[in-house]
Each structure stands twice: as structure tokens, then as C-alpha cells.
């Protein structure tokens, strides 16, 4: 067996996120992170000031990935309903690809400064999507009988819920992302 | 001001569920419950053996309410797609009506015996719904390109997500439950 490469801040963040996702951020201690990394707590503090700094890096990764989706051409150009479809699919795919990061993001409740900042960025993301749903309604391409903010919450609620049950297994990430888009846009009943 | 009525096991469970929903079950202590109830910890132990007993009662309420939905005539009789529609609407309504109970249920991870039992009962509930989705597919009334188990998870993922953001306010419980059903069955794009 090759000796393990020394940790750097990124690989330590990977370990910490898995621990936070499993035990909850509040329930996880730096001792838990050190144990999962197989190094001493002192070695961790060589790289990072503490638990909140690890959380902050993890939340940054999650939110940077979500906002990167909004910058993609398919999220910015074209009809609102098509932009929305692209965003929803990419959010689902990103959630599955960065599962520990997004799991931690979806569970925080704004107790610390890093958490409050992350909650603010999530709200900003939701506002962009709410605006796109509103535009799709004005275009006549999204149902008019839906509060756009509620629509955004429910669609992302569905997509975010994958962090509660997904384990790499029989269903591919792509199949799950497609099912999220299918239900969000067309529901489970067949179109005529 | 009227003096507060003495607590009984049910009203203590109400208080405990609010504390668990706010702080997380693992993060909440019996001191927190006592403080929220405005009584001493010793008085609580007069009614209940400990924190897990309060959790068990709360989870029982949540699961009894969910299984009661499956016993309703509209969940048992008629075409699968109509039974499914009734169940999804009632689950959403029940989630909003018993918000602390369902919040706690949706967040547990099976660490203790009560939690493992509750996880088992949730799985049994999901199996019933998965079966109904499969029947609706065989009837040609649910899209064939969807894994029924994935469909159940995503639809309830959407419905369950309300515990993360709902506060009694501008949107009525009924409007939210209707939106959940509308998206789950027809998606956000308008039907021709």
C-alpha cells in the first residue's frame, strides 16, 4: 500500500465534510475529524484554524458550484422555461456530484457567521430562480396558478432531498437528475 | 393571566418536539426541554423516563398520522392514480399540521431503537406508495419512464421539504398542499 499523501487544506476539508454530513455539523467535533483523517488534532490545526473554517470552505464549494450553474450560457440565454430546465437539471446533478458539500449546506440553520453567510447566498440563488419562474409564467410557459417562490422551494426541495437517501448504487446520477427534471416540469402523469 | 395547567405527558411531548425540531434531537438536552416547559427537570421525569421516551411518543404521532392516511377510503378504493393523488395531498397537509412531529421524523437517522423503528415504519409507508405508483404505471396513468421507488422518494422529498422553510404566514397550508400535488402530478408547465 502506498503511504497516504500528506493532507492539505482541500483533502482535510473533504474528510471534514464527510464527518459533518454523517454526524451533523453541531454533533461533529474536531476529534471526530482527526479520527476520520487518521492524524492528530494538532496536525489539523497546522492547516486550519478550527471547525468553522472547515465548514466555511465546504459551504463555499457548495455555493460556488451552485452559482457557477447560473453563469452557464444555457442558464442565461434563451427562454425562461428552458433556462429553468437547465438549472434544475444541473442543480440535481451537482447535488449528487458534491454530495457531502450539499448535504452540509442543506442542513445548516444559520447559527454561526459562516452559516448565516451561506443562508444568505442560498436565498440569493433562490431569488434568481424565482425570477426565472415568474418570467416563464409571463411567457405562458409555466402554470399561472403557482406562487413562483413556492414553486422554486418545492422543486429544489425535491432535488435537495436526494442527499437524504442517495448512496452510489443502482441508480445513476444522471437518471436521478433526469427524473427530478421530468417530475418538476411534467409531473408523474403522462402528457397526452 | 391564568395559571398554566399542569403538564401531562402529551403537553410535555408538545414542548419537547418543538425543542427537538429547533435544536435537533441530538443537540437538545432534557435541560433544554425543562427550560422550554418552564418546569424543573425532576418534574419532567415524574411524567416520562427520559429524552428518548419523548422522541418515541413524537415519532409515534407522526407515523400514526401518516398511516391513518393510508386507511382512508380515498387511499384504498378506486384507481391507483387517484389514490396516489389523495395520499400525496394528505401527506403534505399532515406535514404542515403536525410540523414539529414531522420535522423530527424527517431528520432522524436511526441512531437509537426508537429511531430505527421509525425508519422501518417510514420504509413500510414508502413501500405502499411505491406499489401504488407501480399500479398507476400498469394502468397507463403514470409515466412509464420513472422508477416507482425513485418517484415516491422525489415526491415525498418535495412534500417533506416544507418542514425546512414553512412558518405560519402568508401561504395557507391548503395552498401549499395543492401546489405539491400540482407539481407532483402535472409539473410546472401548463397542460395543453
Question: Interface pTM (ipTM) of the complex?
Answer: 0.91
Is the residue at B2 inside a domain?
no
Alpha-carbon distance B162 to nearest alpha carbon in chain A (angstroms): 8
Same domain? For B102 and B25 the reply is no
Q: Which residue of B has its CA nearest to A161?
A: B157
Residue A192: what pLDDT?
A: 65
**A132 found inside a domain:** yes
B128 and B172 share a domain? yes
Looking at the domain assignment, is residue A83 inside a domain? yes
| A169 phi and psi angles, rounded to 5 deg | -170, -130
Q: Which of A27, A81, A185 sits opposite B27 (nearest CB)?
A: A27
Same domain, B111 and B39: no
* Contacts of range B75-83, beta carbons closer than 8 Å, 24 or more positions apart: B79/B136, B79/B139, B79/B141, B80/B132, B80/B133, B80/B135, B80/B136, B80/B139, B80/B141, B80/B142, B81/A189, B81/B136, B81/B139, B81/B141, B81/B142, B83/B132
* DSSP H helix total and E strand total for chain B: 10, 0
My answer on whether B104 and B149 are in the same domain is yes
CA gap A179, A6 in Å, rounded: 40
User: Is A49 a member of any domain?
Assistant: no
Show residues of chain B in contact with A138, CB under 8 Å: none
> Are B34 and B92 contained in the same domain?
no
Residues B132 and B60 in one domain: yes
Spatial separation of the C-alpha atoms in residues A29 and A109, rounded to whole Å: 18
Asked if the Cβ–Cβ distance from B146 to A179 is below 8 Å, we say: yes
What's this model's pTM, rounded to 2 decimal places?
0.92
Question: Which among B87, B105, B154, B163 is the top mutation candidate for probing chain A, defined by the most A β-carbons within 10 Å of its own β-carbon?
Answer: B154
Q: What is the DSSP letter of B7?
A: P
**What is the domain range of residue B60?**
54-186
Contacts of A151 in chain B (CB under 8 A): 179, 183, 188
Residue B192: the pLDDT is 65
Q: Are residues B65 and B33 in the same domain?
A: no
Rounded to whole angstroms, the Cα distance separating B173 from B177 reads 6
B154 in a domain, yes or no? yes
- B111 shares a domain with B39: no
In-domain check, residue B18: yes
Total structural domains within chain A: 1
CATH classification at residue B72: 1.10.357.10
Cα separation, B9 vs A24, in Å, equals 29
d(CA B181, CA A30): 43
A156: closest chain B residue by CA: B158
- Per-position pLDDT tens, chain A of length 192: 566 778 899 999 999 999 999 888 888 999 999 999 999 999 999 999 999 999 999 999 999 999 999 999 999 999 999 999 999 999 999 999 999 999 999 988 778 899 999 999 999 999 999 999 999 999 999 999 999 999 999 999 999 999 988 987 778 999 999 999 999 999 999 876
In a domain, A115, yes or no: yes
Grid coordinates standing for A119? 443562508
Per-residue pLDDT 10s for chain B (192 aa) are 566 778 899 999 999 999 999 888 888 999 999 999 999 999 999 999 999 999 999 999 999 999 999 999 999 999 999 999 999 999 999 999 999 999 999 988 778 899 999 999 999 999 999 999 999 999 999 999 999 999 999 999 999 999 988 987 778 999 999 999 999 999 999 876
Inside any domain, residue A102 = yes
Amino acid at each position: 500500500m502506498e503511504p497516504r499523501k500528506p493532507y492539505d487544506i482541500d483533502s482535510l476539508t473533504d474528510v471534514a465534510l464527510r464527518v459533518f454530513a454523517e454526524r451533523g455539523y453541531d454533533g461533529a467535533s474536531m476529534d471526530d475529524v482527526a479520527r476520520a483523517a487518521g492524524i492528530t488534532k494538532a496536525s489539523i490545526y497546522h492547516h486550519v484554524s478550527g471547525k468553522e473554517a472547515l465548514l466555511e470552505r465546504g459551504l463555499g464549494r457548495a455555493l460556488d458550484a451552485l452559482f457557477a450553474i447560473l453563469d452557464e450560457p444555457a442558464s442565461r440565454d434563451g427562454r425562461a422555461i428552458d433556462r429553468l430546465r437547465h438549472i434544475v437539471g444541473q442543480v440535481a446533478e451537482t447535488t449528487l456530484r458534491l454530495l457531502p458539500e450539499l448535504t452540509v449546506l442543506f442542513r445548516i440553520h444559520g447559527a454561526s457567521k459562516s452559516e448565516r453567510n451561506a443562508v444568505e447566498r442560498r436565498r440569493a440563488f433562490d431569488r434568481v430562480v424565482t425570477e426565472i419562474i415568474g418570467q416563464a409564467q409571463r411567457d405562458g410557459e409555466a402554470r399561472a396558478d403557482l406562487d413562483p417562490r413556492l414553486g422554486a422551494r418545492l422543486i429544489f426541495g425535491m432535488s435537495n432531498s436526494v442527499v437524504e437517501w442517495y448512496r452510489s448504487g443502482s441508480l445513476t446520477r444522471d437518471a436521478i437528475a433526469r427524473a427530478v427534471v421530468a417530475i418538476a416540469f411534467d409531473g408523474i402523469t403522462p402528457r397526452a
